[in-house]
Amino acid sequence: MRFEALTFLRFIAAAVVVLFHFGRAPLGLSGFLVAGPEMVTFFFVLSGFVMGVSTFNKNVDKTLYWWSRAARILPVYWIAIAFMVATSRWRGEPVEYESLLLNLTLLQAWSPRHALTINAPGWSLSVEAFFYLTFPLLVLQIRKVSISPKILMLSALMLWLITQVALTTVLELGDYKGWTSLSHGLVYYLPISHYCSFMLGLAGSQIVLERRRVLGSDFTSILAIGCASALVLAITNNEAAISSYVNVQFAYGSSLLAPIFLLLIVAVASATPTVSRMLSSRPLVLLGECSFSLYILQFPVYLLSTAFVAAPLRLGPVSGFLSYFVLLIAVSLVSFVCFERPVNTFLRGLFFYSFRSAKGRVAA
């Protein structure tokens, strides 16, 4: 089962992350449009949901699953690292080999000091790798004890609540020392801090699969999606005001909005066929499919755009960013169509052939 209507949401989330990194100053943006850390939480929830929908009710071979995930993310991910390392060398800047090793092995998020090294957006892939590693084991355990979708959702919500209480306590006790500190890394990058998002997405997928219903009408679908979107906008546009009003410093960028994002995902996944088709047009789906390259290549393309477009043409901040963003989309589309998808297909096929051959030799 696939929910193509969800694919375009990936592009929106990735674009917001890019705006967060490079568009705030030149465009003077604020609120939802620069809610980059919050959008990473959306990715985590969506990962749990999509993996739950696509594989939960199937017999999952752990080795095949892990290879498929590696084939999906590592080629472009490693290319981005290679470019950033080469750029640092060209500039005469030192490359810390410990950071490089942690990035290559997707372990950087476990070390707060290294989470944003080499290619900063890669920290979220380090978190996703933890999800991928544990997912087959988690599915087997859930099946073993026969946890119902409702109990799974309650468990995920409890994990989310415990996580947020712990993170908020760290922020409130005065131990938080800012974004360059160890405490910042522990609150915002540590994979354990985000596991509740993945669990909520997984639990939501099971409820959707169990019910297998769409919303009653096109109007109801649009209303549900609109209300969930409005709630996301209301919170991300007023984070400072909310914290000030309740006098609590929330970790907005560390899975706090995961339940709200799940509502949006479920609303889109449960939309009527007519609304789903509107969100599943080929151009929108293609943009969503290239969102991984858009996300992971944003820093390499920014360096290229700055050196070979903005500087030679003497572009101002606004025109410089707009030209960069257009170039990033173009590069991401080319990357997906000409590299990411073909390499993924080749690697999956190669492993599947080797896997089948190995099983045949054992059987013989």
The average pLDDT across 259-284 equals 93
Residue range 348-359: mean pLDDT, rounded? 68
350 pLDDT higher than 90: no
Instruction: Report the phi/psi class of residue 61: left, alpha or beta, with left for phi > 0 and alpha for psi in -120 to 50.
Output: beta
Domain count, the chain: 1
Q: How confident is the model at residue 362 (pLDDT cuts 50, 70, 90)?
A: very low
Query: Is 289 a residue whose pLDDT tops 80?
Result: yes
Q: From CA 313, how far away is CA 260, in angstroms rounded?
A: 43
Reply yes or no on whether the pLDDT at 359 is more than 70: no
Q: Which range of residues forms the domain containing residue 273?
A: 4-363
| Percent of residues, the chain, with pLDDT higher than 90 | 74
Q: What is the pLDDT of residue 182?
A: 74
What is the mean pLDDT of the segment spanning 263-291?
Answer: 93
Cα dihedral sign for 291, 293, 299, 303? negative
Residue 50 CA to residue 44 CA, distance in Å, equals: 10
Give the model confidence (pLDDT) of 118-135 as tens digits: 999 999 999 999 999 999
pLDDT tens for each residue of 323-333: 999 999 999 99
- Tell me the average pLDDT across 289-309: 96
**What pLDDT, on a 0 to 100 scale, did the predictor assign at position 129?**
97
Q: What is the mean pLDDT of the chain?
A: 91
Per-residue pLDDT tens over the stretch 338-348: 999 999 999 98
Question: 246 to each of 231, 238, 249, 261, 296, how far by Cα in Å?
Answer: 18, 12, 9, 22, 36
Whether the Cβ atoms of residue 287 and residue 11 lie closer than 8 Å to each other: yes
pLDDT at 363: 45
Asked if residue 252 lies in contact with residue 237, where contact means CB atoms within 8 angstroms, the answer is no
Q: CA–CA separation, 256 vs 159, rounded Å?
A: 12
**Token pair listed for 164:** 């947020």
Is the model's pLDDT at 357 over the cut of 90?
Answer: no
